[in-house]
Amino acid sequence: MSPPVSTEERVESLLWPFVERLVDSWQLPGVAMCVVHDGDRVRTRGFGARDVRTGDPVTEDTLFHLASVSKTVVATAVLQLVEAGELDLDAGVTAYLPDLVWADPRAEGMTVRHLLSHRSGLGDVSDYGWHEPELDDGALARFAARVAGWTLERNPGTGFAYSNAAYELLGHLVATVAGRPFEDAVRERVLQPVGMTTSTFLRADVPAHLGALPHLGLPPRVVDGAYPYTRRHAPSSTLHSSVAELGRWTVAHLAGGAGLMSPRSHEAMWTSEGGAGGQWHAEMALGWFRGTHRGYAVVSHSGEDPGFSTSLAMVPDRGVGVVVLADSNTAPTFTLTKVALDVLLGQELADPPLPPVTVPLAPVLERSGVTPAAELYRRLAEADAEEVDLDEVGFSDAVWGVIEMHRTDLAWPLLELWQRVQPDSAQMELNTGWAHEIDGRLEEARRHLRRAVELDPDDEEAATMLARLSEGRGG
């Protein structure tokens, strides 16, 4: 009988080769991963480059923009203040923020708990303003004042609706109670105590030799001046960290918040506040999602901003956790997270997923233009052997980041190709409408958004965007 295979051996023989194959077949710029087992045993590894122009490798210390995984740090800071008696989860947030003038009287019923669990009634941001970053200490307070002027979309506490704006308010709340800028407060209260000494919400503090750069468009490239950073959205999005330091973050949370808060407060943070939808994100706790994988309870959060995709997931009952960071928003971080959990849980692995059709199309589009790329798409679609995934998701992932960065010049060739090969795609119409909006062609934008809704009446994003443009509202 063969001796049992250790977790370390499974990681070396199964997980790392799987990731190498996927990074190669998907032609991803760079990925970093961390796995935690037995509660505190950490393994890390980098793949690919932090900048494809230089080829500088991704390492365990490379700092990635974390996007919405940042919210787990904000939630931790808020629960610390609750434990210290400086905040009450069920108190109205307006009382803690006397500097804000609230336009909707229903905001009086909005509690700290509602903000943490995305049940505040607030809508979400429509334009993050990455192309016009605000870098001064007052940026977050100004945005909080803007949010206070919004009309709520529903009564507080009556339903789940993911809101980045709610976390900007929470960050402003932390800064107000602490009496110092948000970034300083969370560094002192949360990051330093757990040993995350190079992690930072301030991009200016990221050493140039450690920072991963966002890769955008098709093919994925570093676009000068394009980076998803502004201090008005710091709490929801701008934590920079490495898999080495997020390993410490994961260990602390698997240990019930050790070094951060009491086990009782940590349990309260991870207790479900109600349904959120989907198997992996079935329920929303206070800053964390709860779901299941292979029959085990999973606590997680993921993030995606232009040029970055991130994921952190834990199975507390088994003492395991996974962190996946990528410097492109075309990386299948969710797939890598599930595969890594399977390795840690002793499951068998399937082959890596097929790369999106945009991978072989990218060099043709760049070198020869739309028509030859469309011809290649048709040949791939008609081939007997399935070589690529023809789904529209590949196109959407490749285009939305450059649109959000207001670099529509990089989006239009791909949008033209997408329209030629998938003319009945609702996602294509949505992104085309969005690009027209960014370029100021509002009637064209409305026309494409109406078509998106016709093709997919359940597309809430297109319907919301169309309603906003029709009513002249901003986000």
Q: Average pLDDT, stretch 28-51?
A: 97
DSSP symbols for 303-360: EEETTEEEEEEEEGGGTEEEEEEESBTTS-HHHHHHHHHHHHTT----PPPPPBTHHH
Helix (H), strand (E) at residue 297: strand 296-305
68 catalytic, yes or no?
Answer: yes
pLDDT at position 1 over 50: no
How many percent of the chain have pLDDT more than 70?
Answer: 98
Q: Is 216 helix (H, G, I), strand (E, B) or coil?
A: strand
The mean-pLDDT minimum among 236-240, 274-278, 352-356, 409-413 falls in 274-278
| pLDDT at site 4 | 63
Pairing of β 30-37 and β 240-241: unpaired
Tell me how crowded residue 440 is: count the other CB atoms within 10 A of its CB. 8
Cut 0.85: pTM above it: yes
pLDDT at position 127 over 80: yes
| pLDDT at site 2 | 52
Give CA–CA dist 314/249, Å, rounded: 11
pLDDT band of residue 280 (cuts 50, 70, 90) is confident
Strand partners, 324: 33, 311
Catalytic residue among 25, 68, 117, 368: 68
| pLDDT at site 468 | 85
pLDDT at position 475 over 60: no
Q: CA triplet 304, 239, 199: central angle to 5 degrees?
A: 135
Give CA–CA dist 38/6, Å, rounded: 11
Q: Average pLDDT, stretch 119-140?
A: 95
pLDDT tens digits, one per residue of 299-328: 999 999 999 999 999 999 999 999 999 999
Q: Is 130 helix (H, G, I), strand (E, B) or coil?
A: coil
Helix (H), strand (E) at residue 41: strand 41-51
pLDDT at position 206 over 50: yes
pLDDT at position 3 over 60: no
pLDDT tens digits, one per residue of 69-118: 999 999 999 999 999 999 999 999 999 999 999 999 999 999 999 999 99
- Residue 78 CA neighbour count, 13 Å, CB half: 33
pLDDT band of residue 20 (cuts 50, 70, 90) is very high
